[in-house]
A and B are shown apart, each in its own frame.
Chain A
Amino acid sequence: MININEVIETNKMIEQEKLDVRTITLGISLLDCADSNLDELNRKIYDKITRIASNLVSTGNRIQKEYGIPIVNKRIAVTPIALVGAAACKSVEDYVSIAKTLDKAAVAVGVNFIGGYSALVSKAMTESDRLLIESIPMALSQTERVCSSVNVGSTKTGIDMNAVKLLGEIILKTAEATKDRDCIGCAKLVVFCNAPDDNPFMAGAFHGVTEGDAVINVGVSGPGVVKKALESVRGADFETLCETIKKTAFKITRVGQLVAREASRLMNIPFGIIDLSLAPTPAIGDSVAEILKEIGLEEVGAPGTTAALALLNDQVKKGGVMASSYVGGLSGAFIPVSEDQGMIDSVEAGALTLEKLEAMTCVCSVGLDMIAIPGDTKATTISGIIADEMAIGMVNQKTTAVRIIPAIGKKAGERVEFGGLLGYAPVMSINRFDCGDFINRGGRIPAPIHSFKN
């Protein structure tokens, strides 16, 4: 039988170390809503989402009460809209009408974000993919809860540089369209390489075409728990360090597994995967940067940062896979700048630069995340940053992403404020040299060779 010390340990994790289930994300296929009549399509989408997700929020709240574990977000991911809307949407405005339908459905069922305003263009864009991408600035500025993502590359297909070029422009336009709200539109737009079909985390969540009709995916979190556990092994060797992270990751993930199974049972929807990511929030003590400091770095960005992050990421996975048979999504440590107070501090201390962040993304999910850059950055430069990150993902057979926010009217050293879970971000300086001729070539980068690994 459970003993009192185990109960105290669990409740301490929840109450003092901010252990929580970050999200229950309900994936819904909208493929069967496709229709050549736009009004009919919008009606079917709204009806299906509100029908399947009607008890998502109440189920989340019930589980939270029964187990005493906070379930921070209840969210929805849908089939990439560029596929669903292809037959009906003949203009940018047509696509925006679907974004508004998604927003309305999200409000109706009470979820704070709905992901899947997406296109998968890892080799090339269809006409409807292009229209959807071009509609993103308008869609994200006219909705509150819709999240958008575009997969522009993969290890098997290479990188669609036409899409990369277009997205540089789209990101700038999205920032411009939402500049009265600190460019928040860009915080809801992710550019991916090797995007997973079952990622429960926003803003990049969508319901992949390989998935069933509906599925429950759960993202756990608990950087504060890992940090606290590591405090007890200060100065110990790497073996002890790794053991401690693994054990903690196991415990965190088991809670996610319990919640996922229970949600699946109560809603009668199959359980998909647990995403093992360590996801920080702006709250003090809920930070991946603080774990890296606890491992032995004065600031994130100091020499040794990439190695420490590689170790952390690997041990989290090793502990997590033991705890759940179905692990998927992104599963790694997130290193967003704005959502992690420790990361913000390291940037403001001058320890952490964009280039070091890029190096860190080679060893962890997910990529250059929630990074504010000067508002006068050229579109081709943004495309260059995206291309670099996509190349890392393509060559290393991993997911990488870029969620970058051109802060319109602001310069390096100033701040943008988003509020809530998104936090605030210091505007980071970027390399001032030009890559326009590279980006403007057009076409695609071929898939990399899969042998001669060096």
Chain B
Amino acid sequence: MKRTVITVVGKDSVGIIARVCTYLANNNINILDISQTIVQGFFNMMMIVDMSGASKDFEKIADELEQVGAEIGVIIKAQHEDIFNMMHRI
């Protein structure tokens, strides 16, 4: 299973998580973990998801998530979790 990290950064507002989760559910992406924090006044959310059953390929989902972010005024990125594992785990 190749897990993906989705990050959402921006000004806090009503419905951000709902919007992202709806998109993920519509595309058959399973959420494994969610955490959030406020850094320097900005809303930071991280989701670890499993895309192995996803209905579209990674590139398409990354682009569409970016689009969802643009619509609600936040920045959404999807990255394979390996980049974080490599950097922070020996």
> Which A residues are closer than 8 A to B by beta carbons?
1-11, 62, 65-69, 251, 254-255, 257-258
Q: Is the CB of A7 within 8 A of B59?
A: no
Determine the chain B residues whose CB is within 8 A of the CB of A69 once the complex forms. Answer: 83
| 18 CB < 8 A contacts A-B | A1-B48, A2-B85, A2-B88, A4-B35, A5-B37, A7-B46, A7-B84, A8-B39, A8-B44, A8-B46, A9-B88, A10-B88, A66-B59, A66-B80, A67-B82, A67-B83, A258-B82, A258-B83
Indicate which residue in B59, B78, B87 contacts A251 across the interface (CB closer than 8 Å).
Answer: B87
Shortest CB distance B29–A (Å): 15
Q: Is the CB of B86 within 8 A of A7?
A: no
Give the number of A-B contacts (CB < 8 Å): 63
Contact of A255 with B59 at beta-carbon distance under 8 Å, contacts A1-B33, A4-B36, A68-B77 already known: no
The docked-state distance in angstroms from the alpha carbon of A1 to that of B35 is 12
Query: What secondary structure prevails in chain B residues at the interface with A?
Result: strand
The docked-state distance in angstroms from the alpha carbon of A57 to that of B82 is 21
Indicate which residue in A6, A62, A65, A68 contacts B88 across the interface (CB closer than 8 Å).
Answer: A6
Shortest CB distance B62–A (Å): 6
Indicate which residue in A4, A9, A67, A251 contacts B37 across the interface (CB closer than 8 Å).
Answer: A4
Residue interface mask B54-90, A partner, CB < 8 A = 1: 0000110010000000000000011111111111100
How many chain B residues touch A (CB < 8 A): the figure is 26
Q: Is the CB of B86 within 8 A of A258?
A: yes
Shortest CB distance A13–B (Å): 8
Q: Is the CB of A67 within 8 A of B7?
A: no
Determine the chain A residues whose CB is within 8 A of the CB of B35 once the complex forms. Answer: 3-4
Q: Is the CB of A2 within 8 A of B86?
A: no
> Which B residues are closer than 8 A to A by beta carbons?
5, 7, 9, 33, 35-37, 39, 44, 46, 48, 58-59, 62, 77-88
Q: Is the CB of A2 within 8 A of B77?
A: no
Determine the chain B residues whose CB is within 8 A of the CB of A65 once the complex forms. Answer: 58-59, 62
Determine the chain B residues whose CB is within 8 A of the CB of A11 once the complex forms. Answer: 7, 9, 77
Q: Is the CB of B79 within 8 A of A2?
A: no
Determine the chain A residues whose CB is within 8 A of the CB of B62 once the complex forms. Answer: 65
The docked-state distance in angstroms from the alpha carbon of A65 to that of B78 is 9
The docked-state distance in angstroms from the alpha carbon of A7 to that of B7 is 8
Q: Is the CB of B82 within 8 A of A4?
A: no
Q: Is the CB of B86 within 8 A of A4?
A: no
Determine the chain A residues whose CB is within 8 A of the CB of B39 once the complex forms. Answer: 8
Identify the closest chain A residue to B45 (Cβ).
Answer: A4
**Residue of B35, B78, B87 most packed against chain A (CB within 10 A):** B87
Determine the chain B residues whose CB is within 8 A of the CB of A258 once the complex forms. Answer: 82-83, 86
The docked-state distance in angstroms from the alpha carbon of A9 to that of B37 is 13
Identify the closest chain A residue to B5 (Cβ).
Answer: A7
Q: Is the CB of A66 within 8 A of B88?
A: no
Q: Is the CB of B77 within 8 A of A10?
A: no
Indicate which residue in B5, B44, B58 contacts A2 across the interface (CB closer than 8 Å).
Answer: B5
Contact of A254 with B44 at beta-carbon distance under 8 Å, contacts A4-B35, A11-B77, A67-B82 already known: no
Identify the closest chain A residue to B35 (Cβ).
Answer: A4
The docked-state distance in angstroms from the alpha carbon of A258 to that of B80 is 11
Q: Is the CB of A66 within 8 A of B33?
A: no
The docked-state distance in angstroms from the alpha carbon of A255 to that of B78 is 16
Contact of A254 with B79 at beta-carbon distance under 8 Å, contacts A2-B48, A7-B46, A8-B39 already known: no
Contact of A255 with B86 at beta-carbon distance under 8 Å, contacts A4-B37, A11-B7, A67-B79 already known: yes
Indicate which residue in A3, A62, A257 contacts B86 across the interface (CB closer than 8 Å).
Answer: A257
Determine the chain B residues whose CB is within 8 A of the CB of A68 once the complex forms. Answer: 77-79, 83
Q: Is the CB of A66 within 8 A of B86?
A: no
Shortest CB distance A229–B (Å): 13
The docked-state distance in angstroms from the alpha carbon of A257 to that of B87 is 10
The docked-state distance in angstroms from the alpha carbon of A258 to that of B77 is 19
Identify the closest chain A residue to B34 (Cβ).
Answer: A4
Extra pairs beyond A7-B5, A67-B79 (14, CB < 8 Å):
A2-B84, A3-B35, A4-B44, A7-B7, A7-B84, A8-B44, A10-B84, A11-B7, A68-B77, A68-B78, A69-B83, A255-B83, A257-B86, A258-B83
Determine the chain A residues whose CB is within 8 A of the CB of B88 once the complex forms. Answer: 2, 6, 9-10, 251
Q: Is the CB of A66 within 8 A of B48?
A: no
The docked-state distance in angstroms from the alpha carbon of A163 to that of B85 is 49
